[in-house]
Chains A and B, each alone.
Chain A
Amino acid sequence: MRDVAIIGVGMIPFGRRDQDTLLDMLAYSSMKALDDAGLGDKGVDAVYVGNMGAGILQHQSSVASALVDRLALLPAAAEAVENGPASGGSAVKNGVLAVASGYYDVVLVAGGEKMREVTGWRATDFVATMTHPEVEYPYGITLPGMAGMFTRLYMQKYGVTPEMLVEVAIKNQEMGALNPYAHVEMMITKEGIFESPHSIVNNPPAADPLRLYDACPVSDGAAALVLCPLDMAAHLTKNVPILVAGFGQATDTHTLAERDDPTDLKAVTLAAQQAFERARLKPEDIHVAELHDAFTILEIAESEHVGFFKKGEGGKAVLKGKTRLGGKIPINVSGGLKARGHPVGATGVAQVVDIVWQLRHALPEERQVKGAQNGLTVNFGGFGNNVVCFILKRVEQ
């Protein structure tokens, strides 16, 4: 197996992009990544596209075939990867495997989703199609509903408090306000969403005990990256190559009810363990992480399941500022899904792109984790039933 490097990255601002089609967004982000890699006349051998909902939301299939044609990359191999909200992470994983195997040298991976084309209800219903079609979906369960129940259990078992969730929301929106790619660029205050009696309207219940500001927005957006063998990187690009030091992927039961302990996100633990083993690193070696905070509780739970904190300590760490920029392990410096947004198929790719920017030391001071060498991502599909984790490493030239 060959070592694989990320040599180009690109993203478009997430948000509501009425003016763009899904294909427009995939193409813009891909062109940015290709331009960033500076491949010149070197061709792209294969294209992987992470997307969850084009078939449902846009009544469109074969988006990868459409993208290679749009980008004039014919006759590159192309395929779309659908793996729920982990579609982006899965697309990156497939690209990494394709290069590592020696079959392809240059691979473009893009992830995108256009969710604001439909009303919020329909977008919530679309995301709920990942639930079990016989024992969950017909009974009206949605992802916010699942997250609400999970939060209640996590609070009971590990002592997570509403105040801890509020701190995650405030931290991530503060960081999002500094990120030009973020969907939500608005800071919020504890007074406005928690302490003031007026917060009942500002931050209404969404899925008890979760409230409006505990959830990520429904977004449009796309991100892309270019992969090649590490030993070719120096010949292809001037960028600092970022090594895909390890990845892991694991699954869990489709239904939450079948898990021995619904608060135990086994797939997160296993995916992270695999990634750490392959990278020969430990959680304490990670300098920056992008976790899948579709709901604030998930940032806390994932920070424990990947090994940054012991169970029950993640929420306390948030209150102590350990997950802020400058803290022990800065988490979601991009704003995370909470503020950058969550166009489901794009998210896993965008997380990797943000870590690449961190490891290149290319971000403005107010968003840069100083001297970051290793970064981690968790892309959380289903309600933890399919998780993809990456560990990236800066390669000094």
Chain B
Amino acid sequence: MTVDIELELKLRPPEFPQAPYPPKVITLANGKKMVVREVTRADVPQLLKSVHPTLFIERDYYNVVGARVYAELIAWQYYRVQNEYVIVGQVDGLVVGIVNGRMYSPKVGMSLHTLAIDRGLRIGAHLFAAKMEHHIEYLNQDEVLIVAESPIGFRRWMIEYGLIPTNIPHELGGAPSYKLTRELYFKSKPRLVVGDRPVPQELMDVATRELAVADAQAIREKIAGLKGR
């Protein structure tokens, strides 16, 4: 695709300086190690493959979340979102979850989405925690605005963290945002945010070698819980 650089500069939102998210490793309930790391725009085409099957899953509003993540990834790839970041969870190289958010301002974060591709292992909970960790500890922000698009999300974020209701419309659909403050984050951290750094080199090598994606049917079955009769 031909890009008109002069015009492109007018289309791209201005960006603030943004610190990277340092990778960590989490032991899951099944004993497997999940590497949690920030990815780059170059990884978007591969990530889209793991999101695409969710577009057609109604259960737990996966279609809503999946479609929005899909669009947000493409928009990020083409520099159409201000200060977005994307963090993934990988087990044996396989993408098991994706979270993203952005800096609304240098001090206020905007949580976008949490998409668990493998289920039943609290991957969503771990990745959401990583996202909050990024906003508060590495981007050094004072608060994060959050909404849930599913009852599961509401239970995980609003209730488990005790988020503070506000009447600030969230940019995802305009629902009133809930707020994670720096104080609330550090109060919740001991029971909700875990992970070891640095990640052992052999695990990082596997994770960075390839963003492996399960086949579409496997993703659908895992999320939709389809079983034989």
| Chain A residues proximal to chain B, CB less than 8 Å | 12-13, 15-16, 18, 28, 119-120, 180, 184, 186-189, 191-193, 196-204, 213
* B29 pairs with A192, CB closer than 8 A: yes
CA distance A286 to B99 in the complex (A): 51
* A189 pairs with B30, CB closer than 8 A: yes
* B191 pairs with A204, CB closer than 8 A: yes
CA distance A192 to B195 in the complex (A): 13
Instruction: Please classify the interface of chain A as helix (H, G, I), strand (E, B), loop, or mixed, using the class held by over half of its residues.
Output: loop
* A201 pairs with B122, CB closer than 8 A: yes
Knowing A16-B225, A186-B121, the reply to whether A198 touches B31 (Cβ < 8 A) is no
* A188 pairs with B191, CB closer than 8 A: no
List the B side residues contacting A202 at CB < 8 Å. Answer: 27-29, 121-122
* B120 pairs with A184, CB closer than 8 A: yes
B197 within 8 A of A: no
B26 within 8 A of A: yes
* A13 pairs with B229, CB closer than 8 A: yes
**Which of B29, B126, B129, B227 is within 8 Å of A193, CB to CB?**
B29
Instruction: Please classify the interface of chain B as helix (H, G, I), strand (E, B), loop, or mixed, using the class held by over half of its residues.
Output: loop
B194 within 8 A of A: yes
Q: Which of B185-229 contact A (CB under 8 A)?
A: 190-195, 225, 227-229
- 6 A-B pairs, CB-CB below 8 angstroms? A186-B30, A189-B31, A192-B31, A200-B190, A200-B191, A201-B194
> Which of A15, A119, A191, A192 lies at the interface centre, i.e. has the most chain B CB atoms within 10 A of its CB?
A192
* A186 pairs with B194, CB closer than 8 A: no
Looking across the interface, which residue of chain A has its beta carbon closest to that of B118? Answer: A186
CA distance A119 to B153 in the complex (A): 12
Looking across the interface, which residue of chain A has its beta carbon closest to that of B59? Answer: A18
CA distance A18 to B120 in the complex (A): 17
- On chain B, the number of residues with a Cβ less than 8 Å from chain A's Cβ atoms is 26
CA distance A193 to B27 in the complex (A): 9
CA distance A16 to B60 in the complex (A): 12
Knowing A13-B229, A28-B229, A186-B120, the reply to whether A201 touches B129 (Cβ < 8 A) is yes
Knowing A188-B30, A189-B30, the reply to whether A198 touches B194 (Cβ < 8 A) is yes
Knowing A187-B30, A192-B29, the reply to whether A180 touches B121 (Cβ < 8 A) is no
CA distance A230 to B32 in the complex (A): 50
CA distance A203 to B122 in the complex (A): 9
List the A side residues contacting B174 at CB < 8 Å. Answer: none
Looking across the interface, which residue of chain A has its beta carbon closest to that of B119? Answer: A186
* B228 pairs with A13, CB closer than 8 A: yes
List the A side residues contacting B193 at CB < 8 Å. Answer: 201
Looking across the interface, which residue of chain B has its beta carbon closest to that of A188? Answer: B29
* A201 pairs with B191, CB closer than 8 A: yes
List the A side residues contacting B228 at CB < 8 Å. Answer: 13, 180
Q: Which of B10-24 contact A (CB under 8 A)?
A: none
List the B side residues contacting A120 at CB < 8 Å. Answer: 155
Contact with A along B112-139 (1 / 0, CB 8 A): 0000000011100110010000000000
* B227 pairs with A15, CB closer than 8 A: yes
B173 within 8 A of A: no
List the B side residues contacting A192 at CB < 8 Å. Answer: 27-32
CA distance A203 to B176 in the complex (A): 31
Besides A18-B59, A188-B30, A202-B121, 11 new A-B residue pairs in contact (Cβ under 8 A), listed by A number: A12-B229, A120-B155, A180-B227, A180-B228, A186-B30, A187-B30, A189-B30, A198-B27, A200-B190, A200-B191, A202-B122
CA distance A65 to B20 in the complex (A): 63
List the A side residues contacting B155 at CB < 8 Å. Answer: 120
Looking across the interface, which residue of chain B has its beta carbon closest to that of A14? Answer: B227
List the A side residues contacting B229 at CB < 8 Å. Answer: 12-13, 28
* B195 pairs with A198, CB closer than 8 A: yes
* A198 pairs with B26, CB closer than 8 A: yes
Contact with A along B161-193 (1 / 0, CB 8 A): 000000000000000000000000000001111
Knowing A28-B229, A201-B192, A202-B122, the reply to whether A196 touches B30 (Cβ < 8 A) is no
CA distance A138 to B122 in the complex (A): 32
List the A side residues contacting B30 at CB < 8 Å. Answer: 186-189, 192
List the B side residues contacting A200 at CB < 8 Å. Answer: 190-191, 194
CA distance A202 to B120 in the complex (A): 10
* B29 pairs with A189, CB closer than 8 A: yes
**Which of B32, B125, B227 is within 8 Å of A201, CB to CB?**
B125
Distance in angstroms from A166 CB to nearest chain B CB is: 11
Distance in angstroms from B61 CB to nearest chain A CB is: 13
* A15 pairs with B191, CB closer than 8 A: no
* A197 pairs with B31, CB closer than 8 A: no
Knowing A18-B59, A192-B30, A202-B121, the reply to whether A13 touches B194 (Cβ < 8 A) is no
List the B side residues contacting A203 at CB < 8 Å. Answer: 29
List the A side residues contacting B129 at CB < 8 Å. Answer: 201
CA distance A192 to B123 in the complex (A): 13
* A119 pairs with B29, CB closer than 8 A: no
> Which of A192, A198, A199 lies at the interface centre, i.e. has the most chain B CB atoms within 10 A of its CB?
A198
CA distance A198 to B229 in the complex (A): 36
Distance in angstroms from B26 CB to nearest chain A CB is: 5
* A196 pairs with B151, CB closer than 8 A: no
Knowing A201-B129, A204-B191, the reply to whether A119 touches B151 (Cβ < 8 A) is yes
* B120 pairs with A191, CB closer than 8 A: no
List the A side residues contacting B120 at CB < 8 Å. Answer: 184, 186
List the B side residues contacting A187 at CB < 8 Å. Answer: 30
Looking across the interface, which residue of chain A has its beta carbon closest to that of B151? Answer: A119
Knowing A12-B229, A202-B122, the reply to whether A196 touches B191 (Cβ < 8 A) is no
